[in-house]
Structure 1
Amino acid sequence: MPTAVFQSAPERAQVHVSATHDAAWLVVDRIALRYGTRTVVSDLSFALPRGTLACLLGPSGCGKTSALRAIAGFEPLFDGQIRLAGQVLSAPGRLTPPEKRRIGMVFQDYALFPHLTVAQNVGFGLRGQGDATDRVAAMLDTVGLAAAAARYPHELSGGQQQRVALARALAPQPSILLLDEPFSNLDVALREHLAGEVRDILKATQTTAILVTHDQHEAFAMADVIGVLADGRLQQWDTAYGLYHRPANRRVANFIGQGAFVPATVLDAHRLSLAFDAGQVHRDDTTFTADTALPFTPGSRVDVLLRPDDVVHDDASPLQARIVHKAFKGAEFLYTLALPSGNEVLSLVPSHHDHAIGEPIGIRLEMDHLVAFPQEGAGR
């Protein structure tokens, strides 16, 4: 009988800050934003230690860009407080202007000056400083564009323009860097690669930064910690691993990664049985035992989240599923499998196991933890 650690149960947000407020470099403390009578951000809190790379992640309209603009000083707060390096930047009736915050910005369209060279763009915010030339040279070397100093933006690729914008934002040594969908104008295949490059640059310069994006792959490639937003509220503040394997609620589970919910029955305080066969009560190979008591009453109907890496191809397994769809991923196939119960799950299988649609295959469930939620409309 498999064992597992059960991570979550009730539908609730799970919010962890990265540092205590006293130790944090940036503190966003229960902020609320309104446009007229419409609230776009509610009760948003997080704290970042210096040098942390964070991400606000969510679908369009979730409030992530509004939150970023509030940190930059472009939006007033209806409630709460924003502090940077111990100083209050924003509070109701109090707004430090953006130009006095020492905050760098990288915009979605890069906002480079077309009539200025790469070096002139990078040095734009350093005018009048005695070491401007040396600082520009150092930043261009950091982003790998020293040889392009005399070129103009239109002579560069999209990825190179993005790095120029990053160098320009970093040149004045900002207290924090804000990146608003900086990879959205690039090819999909390039985004994750450049997110990794930007992460390396920011870590090398020990920069504190916040990325805003709707693309979880960019967030995973770049951020130390990620906040998932929905309807203006923070659903979970966690690492990429935590969001994927320990989602705090269904909204996070559905937004992060791929997976499927399979009905299950709580047998007792420590055992849960997945509905694998039609009409089954339970069977040993789909019953999981937890070391700690489950937060459900015996007999409760719950949904268990199965990720594609939880469903392992195994020809020797008595558990059989039927392939209803397949997607070739190069090293792997992503199979959609129909269980005898009628539920469908996903499975990542090495691509040398090339099975036909309609073919049955053996599977086993291989998990070191499960995530279970009450079935919608069912009691606990």
Structure 2
Amino acid sequence: MSKFPPLKNDRLLRAVRGEPVDKVPVWIMRQAGRYLPEFRESRSKNDFFTICRTPSLACEVTLQPIDRYDGLLDASIIFSDILVVPQAMGMVVEMLPKEGPHFPSPLTNPADIAKLKSEVDVSAELGYVFDAITLTREKLGGRVPLFGFAGAPWTLFSYMIEGGGSKTFAKSKAWLFKWPKESEELLKRITDVVVDFLVGQAKAGAQILQVFDSNAGELSPSDYRQFILPHTLSIPTRVNTALRSQNLGHVPIVAFPRNAHGALKEFASSDYDAISIDFGVEPEVARSLLPGKTLQGNIDPSVLYGSKDYIRERVQALVAQFGTKKWIANLGHGVYPDHDPEHVRYFLEAIRDFTQTA
């Protein structure tokens, strides 16, 4: 890791460790994306997955919000997609205009598991992400730490079976209830690839990692605990065990179990260093369920449609709820494509103004 420029702003990493900070660190999920005119310019010239697979382009897009909001963001997150893991496992994933991700041949029954690669060499299949991370660390020049990330097993499982987004998740739930043994096998295989992928990202230069379980709330708390949690909770333990075995030290990992409010308390005793919460749970409730954990979140992204004064009022209220310790400010989900970039700036400036302690 010494080959990279020294880190000038470690505010976010200090907050994860529970150490004092001069202000609450802030970044935004999907901060590099369609709401930025500079991203739309890049996207007009390249297919979505072409950007993901071209390290120079992924680096360029990753840095766009860091450059635009110079000094206001405390972290960068590599431009990629959670669905590169199913691609690495042998599935075709397309990003359709105005429709989002699409799997032309989703998994329809357990026999389809045989179509997946029995072994996945993440360096061969996902080395472009690692190269993008290394390049971005260099280009960041130590301005802020760099996040790597992956999708959680259940979210990837559901995409691979539903074939894209879903309102009911009936197909993926049917797998769990009709074919629990085969579902367990598939979830384990996905988890193995996710662990290897995160280890590779840390080795490539990611200084912190996040696991996105965007569909966590689509299962009942009991079903989530029974079928999914053992896999999701094993990830940070396995990743850091692997890194320690290679003398690479501890890399903090954040979990984002979106809308899984009934299962949040299970994350309190996990090896995740921080938990990102969505906007459907009150900060004081999250604090009570996750004592001792650094929290991340959780303002409703739609607040950014409001006026500058309204955004500042909501941020001030959020600061009063969270306090300024063991908190990383963020939205409770990703920024929306039609958000005004200047309203994003208002949010970032408000966090700075209301949490500055030095």
TM-score, normalised to structure 2's length? 0.31
TM-score normalized by the length of structure 1: 0.30
Greater helix proportion: 2
Higher relative contact order (CA 8 A, sep 6+): 2
Larger Rg: 1
